[in-house]
Amino acid sequence: MRRTLRNMAAATVMLGLAGCATAPETGRSQLIIFPESQDAQMGLEAYQQIKSEMKEANDPALERRIETVGGRIAAISPHPDWQWEFTLFQDDTPNAFALPGGKVGVNTGLFKVAKTDDQLAAVMGHEVAHAIARHGAERMSSGMLTQLGLVGLGIATQDQTTVGLAAAAATLGVTLPHSREQESEADHIGLLYMARAGYDPRGAIQLWKNMEAAGGDQPLEFLSTHPSHGNRIARLEEWMPEALAEYRGT
Ligand SMILES: [Zn+2]
């Protein structure tokens, strides 16, 4: 019983420390228990892990394109100071991903659907938005809080299965899939960022049409569950006037 109380106290302390962050552009409230200063380290570790498991591409022209387009978008983001890194991986799946602190991976297969720089900017904007909005840290925070709840419950009931579940929850890392809400938010923020960086936001709609035409039910991101293409395009159309105003203002 005493231990349960101690656990609950620890959870309360963590919740107390948890700042209520606010996502950029959308103003959505976020529960994030990690300080922003920790994002860079978390992201770097995951990036090194992924680099050791995947094959980096050797295509200087494509590498330069993702660095140029990604770099321009990162430069107009609220954190041009982060150690942004854009890596091209040799993989036919049209995929990309972002890690906390500004590490972004792009597969060579993405160029089957991202045919112009505006279309590529839609992907880079989306990934930069995930990092800036701290979606990885937000996901890990909910994982940790769930785990604390399970640990408290497990000790209270002396239930080893529950303790085991808690341990499994602890392994949830930065590579967890984004939630649908985060995906939609990254689409929205990304659309504004690409426009602000001088890319035509209508490229985002064309990208999703190309994805659809490629027969792709392929997810854009590793392990990701995504809104359907049609749904996604409808939301992008809603935000388009705002993004076009930004684009025409550049
Ligand atoms: Zn995403």
Top-confidence residue, 147 or 3 = 147
Q: Which of 102, 129, 177 is nearest to 24 (CA)?
A: 129
Give the Å distance between the CA of 126 and the centre of ligand 1. 6
pLDDT of 133 higher than 90: yes
pLDDT of residue 166: 47
Beta bridge partners of 97: 105
Confidence of residue 213 (pLDDT cuts 50, 70, 90): confident
Torsion of the alpha carbons at 197, 200, 202 and 205, rounded to the nearest 10: -60
**Residue 158 DSSP SS3:** coil
pLDDT of residue 134: 95
Give the Å distance between the CA of 14 and the centre of ligand 1. 28
7-35 as b/e, with b when 16 or more CB fall inside 10 Å?
beeebeeeeeebeebebbbeeeebebbbe
Residue 56 is classified by DSSP as B
pLDDT of residue 180: 83
pLDDT of 223 higher than 50: no
pLDDT of residue 154: 59
Give the Å distance between the CA of 198 and the centre of ligand 1. 21
pLDDT of 165 higher than 60: no
Confidence of residue 171 (pLDDT cuts 50, 70, 90): very low
Give the Å distance between the CA of 226 and the centre of ligand 1. 8
Give the Å distance between the CA of 236 and the centre of ligand 1. 14
CA atoms within 13 A on the CB side of 50: 25
Q: Give ∠ CA 123-128-73 in degrees, rounded to 5.
A: 85
Ion ligand 1: residue ranges with CB closer than 5 A: 183, 186, 221
Q: Which of 7, 1, 2 is nearest to 151 (CA)?
A: 7
pLDDT of 242 higher than 60: yes
Q: Could you tell me where the DSSP H helices lie in 133-220?
A: 135-157, 160-170, 180-196, 202-213
Give the Å distance between the CA of 115 and the centre of ligand 1. 19
DSSP 92-127: SS--EEEETTTEEEEEGGGGGT--SHHHHHHHHHHH
Give the Å distance between the CA of 164 and the centre of ligand 1. 30
Q: pTM to 2 decimals? A: 0.83
Task: Give the chain's mean pLDDT.
Answer: 84
- Minimum mean pLDDT range among 9-23, 63-77, 116-130, 171-185: 9-23
| Structural contact between residues 120 and 220, judged by C-beta atoms closer than 8 angstroms | no
| Structural contact between residues 250 and 192, judged by C-beta atoms closer than 8 angstroms | no
Q: Give ∠ CA 95-97-100 in degrees, rounded to 5.
A: 180
The rounded radius of gyration (Å) of the Cα atoms in the chain is: 19
pLDDT of 115 higher than 70: yes
Q: Mind telling me the catalytic residues?
A: 127
pLDDT of 218 higher than 90: no
